């Protein structure tokens, strides 16, 4: 569950920004989020399902002055869900599946907004030491 992940070059990355309702905290969504992630990992986590790995982040409030250009505004989301897939088609197929939809709908009840953007990998690397 908390092991390092390896992302093959050419993977597709999906970035999902989730805005929680004002009366909901990160702790309030942990179970729903954990169940949703478990379904993705266990149901779609092979070559035919396309899921490679995922990560979930909570916005810490840190905004980099050094890494920002012309903007230091806070994002309009509280949670970032980052997943890696072999293809966008397999991602969409998994998310249309009843098993995923049930878990996602439980999370959606506690949010005001969610968006998911797909990215093609252009580069990756590690220090050469």
Question: Domain locations in the chain?
Answer: 12-62+75-120
Q: E strand or H helix at 95, and its extent?
A: helix 88-96
pLDDT in tens, 67-108: 888 777 778 899 999 999 999 999 999 999 999 999 999 999
User: Which among 4, 106, 117, 114 is positioned nearest to 54, based on CA atoms?
Assistant: 4
pLDDT in tens, 28-56: 999 999 999 999 999 999 878 999 999 99
Distance, CA of 114 to CA of 117 (rounded, Å) = 10
pLDDT at 11: 96
Which of 15-19, 23-27, 66-70, 100-104 has the least mean pLDDT?
66-70
Q: Which distant-in-sequence residues (6+ apart) come within 8 Å of 122 by Cβ?
A: none
CATH of 12-62+75-120, one of 3.40.50.300, 3.30.479.30, 3.40.50.2020, 3.30.70.100: 3.30.70.100
pLDDT at 65: 84
User: Which among 57, 59, 49, 63 is positioned nearest to 97, based on CA atoms?
Assistant: 49
Q: What is the mean pLDDT of residues 58-64?
A: 91
């Amino acid at each position: 569950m908390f092991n390092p992940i390896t992302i093959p070059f050419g993977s597709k990355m999906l970035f999902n920004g989730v805005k929680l309702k004002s009366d909901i905290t990160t702790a309030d969504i942990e179970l729903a989020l954990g169940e949703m992630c478990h379904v993705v990992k266990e149901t779609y986590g092979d070559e035919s399902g396309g899921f490679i790995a995922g990560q979930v982040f909570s916005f810490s409030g840190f905004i980099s002055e050094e890494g920002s250009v012309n903007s230091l505004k806070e994002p309009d989301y509280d949670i970032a869900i980052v997943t890696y897939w072999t293809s966008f088609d397999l991602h969409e197929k998994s998310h249309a599946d009843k098993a995923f939809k049930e878990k996602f709908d439980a999370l959606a009840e506690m949010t005001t907004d969610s968006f998911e953007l797909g990215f093609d990998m252009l580069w990756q690397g590690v220090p050469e030491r």
